[in-house]
Chain A
Amino acid sequence: MTNIIHMETDVVQASARQLEQTAVETQQEIATLAGAIRSLDWQGGARDQFAIDFGNLEKRFNELTEQGTILSRRMRAEVDEWVAAAASLGTGGGSGPASQNQIVSDGKNKIRNEWKDMTFEERKQWIEDYYKDLCKKLGMPETDFKVEDLRDPDNGDYRGSYNNGGIFGWFRSLTIDSDNVKGDDPFEVMETIGHETRHQYQHYLVEHPDKRPANISEETVKSWKDNINNYKRAENDYEAYRNQPIEADARQAGEQAADEYINNRAKAI
């Protein structure tokens, strides 16, 4: 029995990814097989019993693959802890030279630690600065930025909202849920701010087409305008909601903005 503990974080991380991938592929294989079996040209009592037995087997397979997915997430969380511990000890983690992943991980740890030490008021100021910085980068005027307790739906988490206001933009505002600001995940809050700020930007370009940068096409802005006028709500059809132009764009922009911030912080370490 040794007191030395060691983990090749890159290798364990890769195994976790492989486990998740295998679980997902297995689910897909089972779904395909189930479809084929259900459409078999076979009628009779034996077929009915077979269909029931296969349904039970499919259910068990899916439960097992779900367990595999959960296990892979545990592995990833463990790796994150090891990397964080290594960073706090200044060992750099892993076995080789510091990789980009390591640099990003260090940046995230730094932000996470700062967030942990902030009071609620300090967090509010920090995220407002983050919002103002995004507006500046986008060349867009700031709007009324609020941190309030947004009422969550029965089964869900209402993280933030952008309200374009009424006529002349009166009462235009961007609101972030205070529950999440009180929570321990700064990255989720950053993504939410990036996401809602992007909605503000979409409205801004629809209303000010002359401000459109070269990397956003006229067609894109038109698709945003059409989508704003025919917005699909999540509770009506979640897939349609996720895939509509303004939501897909805001999701990508929110993640990208958070990644850029983390990378910049990492480089500054």
Chain B
Amino acid sequence: MKSLTTEQLTSYLINKWEYPRSQAPETALRLQAMAPEILQGFAEWLDSGEFPDEPVYTSYSPRSLRKLTNLKPPAIFLMLDWIRREPQEATRAMREELLTK
């Protein structure tokens, strides 16, 4: 992850995950600003393609969020970072629109 610049991450979001060109740079910055342990999980996923079981916040991990939502992989890690920062607001928002299980 340390080897990916904002520009490289932006290109990756556009080309691999079809993020809009107008939004990808901001998303790349938001990914880089995630908590170190979540960024580490994102780096693991980039390397292996496997969603890690750690870190866990409010009982959610990258792997469990992958199973429970239809978010794109980068958005899984952004979601977890939101849960870390604002657990009440984020989990309420998830229950309202994202989760049916």
Contact A238 B82 (CB under 8 A): yes
Q: Does A43 contact B (CB under 8 A)?
A: no
Q: List 26 A-B contacts (CB under 8 A).
A: A34-B55, A35-B35, A55-B54, A59-B59, A63-B59, A66-B58, A153-B70, A155-B99, A155-B100, A156-B69, A156-B99, A230-B20, A232-B23, A234-B71, A236-B23, A236-B72, A236-B74, A237-B23, A237-B30, A238-B75, A238-B78, A239-B93, A240-B23, A240-B27, A240-B30, A242-B93
Contact A239 B100 (CB under 8 A): no
Contact A237 B37 (CB under 8 A): no
Using CB atoms and an 8 Å cutoff, list the residues of chain A in contact with chain B.
24, 27-28, 31, 34-35, 38-39, 55, 58-59, 62-63, 65-66, 152-157, 230, 232, 234-240, 242
Residues of B within 8 Å of A66, CB to CB, are 58-59
**Taking the nearest CB of chain A, how far is it from the CB of B5, in angstroms?**
20
Using CB atoms and an 8 Å cutoff, list the residues of chain B in contact with chain A.
17, 19-20, 22-23, 26-27, 30, 35-37, 54-59, 67-72, 74-75, 78-79, 82, 84, 87-88, 90, 93-94, 97-101
Contact B99 A237 (CB under 8 A): no
Complex alpha-carbon distance, A230 and B25, angstroms = 13
Contact A24 B88 (CB under 8 A): yes
The answer to whether A235 and B72 touch (CB under 8 A), given A66-B58, A230-B22, is yes
The answer to whether A238 and B98 touch (CB under 8 A), given A38-B37, A58-B56, is yes
Residues of A within 8 Å of B67, CB to CB, are 155
Q: Is the interface of A mostly helix, strand, loop or mixed?
A: helix
Residues of B within 8 Å of A230, CB to CB, are 20, 22-23
Complex alpha-carbon distance, A59 and B60, angstroms = 9
The answer to whether A28 and B87 touch (CB under 8 A), given A155-B68, A156-B69, is yes
Contact A156 B97 (CB under 8 A): yes
CB < 8 Å: which of A55, A65, A152, A235 contacts B75?
A235
Closest to B71 in A: A235
Closest to A251 in B: B96
Complex alpha-carbon distance, A191 and B28, angstroms = 33
**Taking the nearest CB of chain A, how far is it from the CB of B15, in angstroms?**
14
Complex alpha-carbon distance, A231 and B71, angstroms = 16
**Taking the nearest CB of chain B, how far is it from the CB of A243, in angstroms?**
10
Extra contacts besides A59-B56, A239-B79 (15): CB < 8 Å:
A34-B55, A55-B54, A55-B56, A62-B58, A66-B58, A156-B70, A156-B100, A234-B98, A237-B78, A238-B71, A238-B78, A238-B79, A238-B98, A239-B90, A242-B97
**Taking the nearest CB of chain A, how far is it from the CB of B41, in angstroms?**
12
Residues of A within 8 Å of B93, CB to CB, are 238-239, 242
Closest to A65 in B: B58
Complex alpha-carbon distance, A153 and B20, angstroms = 20
Residues of B within 8 Å of A156, CB to CB, are 69-70, 97-100
The answer to whether A31 and B57 touch (CB under 8 A), given A236-B19, A236-B75, is yes
Contact A62 B57 (CB under 8 A): yes
**Taking the nearest CB of chain A, how far is it from the CB of B47, in angstroms?**
20
Residues of A within 8 Å of B90, CB to CB, are 239
